[in-house]
C-alpha cells in the first residue's frame, strides 16, 4: 500500500499549479479556459490546506487563512494567465 504524506501532497499540488500557471501553453483567447482555471485554483487551495495540515505553515495561521491565501494566489494566477493570453494574441 502506498502511503502519501501531507507535506508531499501539498508540495506536489503547489508545483503542479505553478507549472500550469507559468509553463503550460496558454492557447487562444477565443477558447474557453474554464477547466484549467478551476484546476489552478483547486490546486493552490489544496496546497494551502495540505501544507497547513502537515505543520509546514505555523499554527498561528488558521486553516481558513491558509485556504484563503491559496484562493487569492489561485485567482492571481488566473489573472496572470489571462494577461499572457492577451499578450500572445497581440503577436
Residue 61: CA count within 13 A, CB half-sphere = 16
In a domain, 66, yes or no: yes
Alpha-carbon span 60 to 85, nearest angstrom: 38
Residue in the structure block whose three cell numbers are 509553463: 23
Say how many C-beta atoms besides its own lie within 10 A of residue 38's C-beta: 12
* C-alpha torsion sign, points 8, 10, 12, 18: negative
In a domain, 50, yes or no: yes
The residue-averaged pLDDT of 27-34 equals: 72
In a domain, 1, yes or no: no
- Domain span at residue 81 reads 6-90
pTM value surpassing 0.85: yes
The tally of domains found in the chain comes to 1
Q: Pick the more confident residue, 73 or 58.
A: 73
Is the separation of the CB atoms in 69 and 48 below 8 Å?
A: yes
Question: For 44-72, what is each residue's pLDDT tens digit?
Answer: 999 999 999 888 888 889 999 999 999 99
Amino acid at each position: 500500500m502506498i502511503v502519501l504524506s501531507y507535506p508531499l501532497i501539498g508540495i506536489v499540488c503547489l508545483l503542479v499549479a505553478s507549472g500550469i500557471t507559468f509553463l503550460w501553453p496558454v492557447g487562444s483567447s477565443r477558447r474557453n479556459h474554464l477547466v484549467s482555471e478551476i484546476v489552478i485554483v483547486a490546486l493552490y487551495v489544496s496546497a494551502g490546506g495540505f501544507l497547513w495540515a502537515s505543520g509546514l505553515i505555523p499554527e498561528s495561521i488558521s486553516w481558513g487563512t491558509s485556504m484563503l491565501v491559496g484562493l487569492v494566489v489561485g485567482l492571481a494566477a488566473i489573472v496572470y494567465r489571462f494577461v499572457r493570453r492577451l499578450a500572445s494574441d497581440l503577436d
